[in-house]
Amino acid sequence: PPAARPGHTVAPLASTAQVSRDSQFSTLHHFSLSPRKGTPAAGMRDMVAPQGKAERIERLIELETELRDDYYRTLLGRELSVLIEAELPGNSFAGTSCRYAPVEIRAGRGRESLATNNPPHEPALPAKDSRPPDVAPSSNSSPQYLPFHLATITPTSLESGRLIAQA
């Protein structure tokens, strides 16, 4: 929602917050109108001052964080499919769950523990790697251990806006 429409008081922002909570949104798109030449906003009167816009955007960001974390908490303890998208330092993997929540999988023994707990689906046909040869991994890499592996996990905690699971 626009954070500061011309002439708006703080009341519409409170209404937006209430509707967002009642609807159980997990994300919000927040923006302020920009009075650039040639746009409808350029001719509008009673524009909210830049500091007021910034304060309202900050309140919407805080609301979004609250709503997002409330939603992610509902996923704790539930079995989720996760598309692994990257290997992180410290024997961890990053991915996105089937419920669109970011996930960090902490794999005690690294790739080995992830592969042991999440064998590739049968039949395991590796996808064609469309990356240029100088970027693609060597052909002797095991596809089941690379990013873009599908894993099944059960998150146990929430940290910094992402679900945490152990492999």
> What does the pLDDT look like over 48-67, one tens digit per residue?
888 888 898 999 999 999 99
Length reported for the chain: 167
What is the model's pTM? 0.70
76 pLDDT more than 60: yes
Predicted local confidence at residue 127, as pLDDT: 46
Predicted local confidence at residue 130, as pLDDT: 53
Determine the Cα–Cα distance for residues 102 and 163; give it in Å rounded to an integer: 6
| CA angle in degrees (0–180, nearest 5) for 73-54-18 | 45
Residue tagged 């002439």 (tokens):
7
Backbone torsion region of residue 68, taken as left when φ is above 0, otherwise alpha when ψ lies between -120 and 50, otherwise beta = alpha
Surface-to-core class of residue 15, CB atoms within 10 Å of its CB (0-12 exposed, 13-18 middle, 19+ buried): exposed
156 pLDDT more than 60: yes
Mean pLDDT score, 121-146: 49
32 pLDDT more than 50: yes
Determine the Cα–Cα distance for residues 72 and 52; give it in Å rounded to an integer: 30
* β-pair type (150-153, 157-159): unpaired
144 pLDDT more than 50: no
Determine the Cα–Cα distance for residues 81 and 121; give it in Å rounded to an integer: 12
137 pLDDT more than 60: no
Most distant CA atoms of the chain, gap in Å: 65
Predicted local confidence at residue 123, as pLDDT: 42
Determine the Cα–Cα distance for residues 125 and 27; give it in Å rounded to an integer: 35
Question: Greater confidence, 165 or 167?
Answer: 165
Q: Where are the alpha helices (DSSP H) in the chain?
A: 11-22, 50-73, 111-117
DSSP letter, residue 123: S
Mean pLDDT score, 153-167: 95
